[in-house]
Amino acid sequence: MTIRILIADDHQIVRQGLRILLEKEPDMRVVAEADDGRATVRLVREISPEVVIMDVAMPDLNGIEATRQIVAEFPKIKVIALSMYADQRFVLNMLKAGASGYLLKDCAFEELTRAIRLVMAHKTYLSPGVTDIVVKDYTSGNNSGKPSVFSTLSPREREVLQLMAEGKSTSQIAGLLHVSVKTIETHRQQVMHKLNIHSVAELTKYALREGLTFLET
């Protein structure tokens, strides 16, 4: 059996390197590549890969939101996060979104292939560097009480906020999300009201701080 893999990363050199290495494995084949979260979701719908290797920090639609959409629509598809970020926000929110694994980009290639085979066997794989984060969250009961963007905003509001922070206009966002300009204006007002933030500059800072978007990915 050949495992069909989609690579999602906004750096072409990363995608090319992973493709070359993965296709040397006799039981793996890269069937597609994507450079942002929205393209990843579209390709998943078109070609139905078995595993998606997902960068967390991507433009247009970040890896957490893309994972949430993919797993909700295709629960049998396995998503493995491959990220340079070991921050608690990204690890826990990727897992809550439905990822079956989380690896750091400084891992050995053998760790990635092992993770792919494990998730295909319906197991979860975490890099040693992020295991402590999950354990600490579990043992603490996650009682920080500090609200996050993922608990405060709806999925669509998070999408709108990311696109706003990346400099997209209201009409551009409406086109990307296939809704009316008025709908986007309503979402924007709701986001500002919920966050008690009333300027695009402050919204951008908030989106960066919460990991919805990144200055460099």
Report how far Cα 51 is from the mean position of its chain's Cα atoms.
14
pLDDT for 80 equals 97
Question: pLDDT tens digit string along 20-29?
Answer: 999 999 999 9
- Please provide residue 8's backbone torsions phi and psi, each rounded to the nearest 5 degrees: -115, 110
Q: Which of 116, 112, 117, 208 is nearest to 164 (CA)?
A: 208
CATH 1.10.10.10 boundaries in the chain: 149-210
CATH 3.40.50.2300 boundaries in the chain: 3-140
- The rounded distance, in Å, linking the Cα atoms of 197 and 207 is 11
pLDDT for 192 equals 94
pLDDT for 217 equals 42
In this structure, which topology does domain 3-140 adopt according to CATH?
Rossmann fold (3.40.50)
pLDDT for 61 equals 93
Is the domain defined by 149-210 classed in CATH 1.10.10.10?
yes
pLDDT for 215 equals 59
- The rounded distance, in Å, linking the Cα atoms of 100 and 78 is 6
Which stretches of the chain drop beneath a pLDDT of 50? 217
pLDDT for 198 equals 87
- Residue that is written with structure tokens 């690579």 in the block: 7
